[in-house]
Amino acid sequence: MEKLELSADFFETKLSDAKVHFERALDCKHTEFDDLYPYMIEHPQFFWYKRYVAWSELLTIVKLAGELNVEWRSQFTERQVEYIENRVMSSRVLDEWYETNDAREQVANEENA
**Model pLDDT, residue 54:** 93
SS (H, E, C) the chain: CCCCCCCHHHHHHHHHHHHHHHHHHHCCCCCHHHHHCHHHHHCCCHHHHHHHHHHHHHHHHHHHHHHCCCCCHHHCCHHHHHHHHHCCCCHHHHHHCCCCHHHHHHHHHHHHC
**Model pLDDT, residue 21:** 93
**Model pLDDT, residue 112:** 58
Q: Mean of the pLDDT values across residues 34-47?
A: 75
**Model pLDDT, residue 75:** 93
> Does residue 1 surpass a pLDDT of 70?
no
Q: Each residue of 46-103: pLDDT tens digit?
A: 778 888 999 999 999 999 999 988 899 999 999 999 999 999 888 889 889 998 655 5
pTM: 0.76
* Residue 58 contacts residue 22 (beta carbons within 8 Å): yes
